[in-house]
Amino acid sequence: MNTQKSYTHTFTVPDADIDTMGHVNNVVYVRYAQEAATAHWMAKASDELRAAVLWVVLRHEIDYLAPAFAGEMLNARTWVGEISGVKSIRFVEITNTAGRRVVMAKTTWCMLDAQTLRPKRIEPEMMADFI
C-alpha cells in the first residue's frame, strides 16, 4: 500500500450504531467503509471528475477483528489497491485510538459514466491522486 495515497476518515461511534450485544453492529461497518471511501473521493477527486463519473459497490468483504463501542473515536484509513477495466479494489482499515485494528474491509467498486449510468473504463490518469 502506498501510504502517501491513503486517506483517514475519523469519526465517533453514535449510540444508534450499537446492537443488543453492546457494540457496533456488524452491518454498520459496511456503512463506515462506504463513508470512508466517499470522503476520500470527495477530498481528492477534481470537480470535473466527480461530475463525470459515479461509483457503485459490487462486493464487500469484511473481517471483524475487535468490538467498537458508543462514543469511541475510530479511524478509517482507506486506499485504492488496484484498478482493472471498470473495477477498482479499495481497502479500509478501521482502528481505535489505541491503534487496535477493529475491521479490515475490501470493497470492489465499479465506475459508471454519470450521464449514461453505464460502466466506464478506469483510465490510470483518472486515478493518479489515488494510486
- SS3 assignment, position 41: helix
Task: Say what the pLDDT of residue 31 is.
Answer: 97
Closest CA to 103 of 61, 62, 42: 62
Q: So what's the pLDDT on residue 4?
A: 65
pLDDT at 75: 98
CA-based radius of gyration for the chain: 15
pLDDT for res 131: 87
73 pLDDT band (50/70/90 cuts)?
A: very high
Domain boundaries, the chain: 3-126
Number of CB atoms found within 10 A of residue 110's CB: 17
Q: Summarize pLDDT for 1-54 with one digit per residue, the tens.
A: 555 699 999 999 999 999 999 999 999 999 999 999 999 999 999 999 999 999
Each residue of 99-130: pLDDT tens digit?
999 999 999 999 999 999 999 999 989 999 99
Q: What is the DSSP string of 25-88?
A: -TTHHHHHHHHHHHHHHHHHS-HHHHHHEEEEEEEEEEEE-S---TT-EEEEEEEEEEEETTEE
CATH number for domain 3-126, candidates 3.30.70.600, 3.40.640.10, 2.60.40.1120, 3.10.129.10: 3.10.129.10
Determine contact, residues 131/124, Cβ cutoff 8 Å: yes
